[in-house]
């Protein structure tokens, strides 16, 4: 029997207007936005639906906004197709929290307040302008890792941060480290290097202070064993025990996101359908570069996407 995985997007997938139509059409989705507003003490729903975009783009706002949108889509799907659960869930960076809510390991209220703080901690970890990230296209991961190691050994920390798909890797670290590694990557055969417009060097060792602060927050919330295996970013292996989940969330802040490896693991376990749940289609695009052509891939962010998924008879 074929298996289905639900995957949840991370930062960068947000857009003004996300969830507005969904919240009108699905009572359960509307409840999720209301819960977020109550938990955070301000109208996150208005920020998602009306902007302004520059406010929505702030990491401390983006993270709870994407989580809320993703959980709202999941609840709308649950409303339409009660009782269906996937074989695996996974999320890209921030998306791992959406996956944990979907797996019953964390309450939505705890998750939304935690990722708001996570965003703040990540913004505070490195002073503005001192860190950077860049996407490197068309370079082997071992070769790029060697470049980053060589630059880091010269006192300019930089490392692989997001291993997204074959030929698409994001590097992260000090501004000088990323610049030097970008130049060397091009000299060593990278097809293209694109600096990213981000507020910090996410998923690098420079995020250690944020990981320490997050650990204290996670100490204060209830994390349960997951009802569905959650394929963790830091190991590309499933975690189910509460202690494993907490450890992986702390490590994740300053460790690479092994997204290509997560997808490869699920394919190896017999997953033949991936459903991206939440704003945008970033993960669907990455999975197309990793998975064989016969694998089905859906992206659901509104009622149209939900109808297309259900009419396809996939969730039976």
Residue 157, classed as helix, strand or coil, is coil
Q: Which of 93, 98, 152, 199 is catalytic?
A: 93
Q: Is 156 among the residues known to form the active site?
A: no
Which DSSP string corresponds to 176-213? HHHHHHHHHHHHTT-SEEEE---SS-TTSGGGHHHHHH
The reply to whether omega before 32 is within 30° of 0 (cis) is: no
**Rounded to an integer, what distance in angstroms lies between the CA atom of residue 51 and that of residue 155?**
41
Instruction: Of 95, 113, 107, give the one whose Cα is nearest residue 224.
Output: 107
**Rounded to an integer, what distance in angstroms lies between the CA atom of residue 123 and that of residue 252?**
15
Q: Which of 203, 204, 248, 255 is catalytic?
A: 203
Q: What is the DSSP letter of 258?
A: -
**Rounded to an integer, what distance in angstroms lies between the CA atom of residue 89 and that of residue 7?**
6
**Rounded to an integer, what distance in angstroms lies between the CA atom of residue 85 and that of residue 78?**
9
Instruction: Give the DSSP H/E element, type plus range, for residue 248.
Output: helix 242-252
Rounded to 5 degrees, φ, ψ at 10 are -110, -165
Catalytic positions, written as ranges: 93, 203
């Amino acid at each position: 029997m074929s298996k289905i995985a639900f995957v949840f997007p991370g930062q960068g997938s947000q857009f003004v207007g996300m969830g507005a139509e969904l919240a009108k059409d699905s009572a359960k989705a509307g409840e999720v936005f209301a819960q977020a507003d109550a938990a955070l003490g301000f109208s996150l729903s208005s920020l998602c639906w009306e902007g302004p975009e520059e406010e929505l783009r702030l990491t401390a706002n983006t993270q709870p906004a994407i989580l809320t949108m993703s959980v709202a889509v999941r609840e709308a799907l649950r409303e339409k197709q009660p009782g269906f659960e996937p074989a695996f869930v996974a999320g890209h960076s921030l998306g791992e929290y959406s996956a944990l809510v979907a797996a019953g390991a964390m309450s939505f209220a705890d998750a939304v307040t935690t990722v708001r703080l996570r965003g703040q901690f990540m913004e505070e970890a490195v002073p503005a302008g001192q860190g950077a990230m860049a996407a490197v296209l068309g370079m082997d991961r071992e070769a790029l890792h060697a470049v980053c190691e060589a630059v880091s050994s010269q006192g300019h920390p930089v490392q692989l941060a997001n291993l997204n798909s074959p030929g698409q890797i994001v590097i992260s670290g000090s501004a000088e480290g990323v610049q030097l590694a970008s130049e060397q990557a091009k000299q060593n055969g990278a097809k293209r290097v694109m600096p990213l417009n981000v507020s910090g060097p996410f998923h690098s060792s420079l995020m250690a202070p944020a990981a320490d602060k997050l650990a204290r927050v996670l100490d204060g919330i209830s994390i349960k064993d997951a009802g569905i295996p959650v394929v963790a970013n830091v190991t590309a292996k499933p975690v189910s025990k509460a202690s494993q989940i907490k450890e992986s969330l702390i490590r994740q802040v300053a460790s690479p996101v092994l997204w290509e490896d997560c997808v490869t693991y699920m394919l190896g376990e017999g997953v033949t359908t991936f459903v991206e749940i939440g704003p945008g289609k970033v993960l669907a695009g990455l999975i197309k570069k990793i998975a064989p052509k016969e694998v089905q891939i859906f992206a659901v962010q509104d009622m149209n996407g939900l109808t297309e998924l259900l009419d396809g008879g996939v969730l039976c």
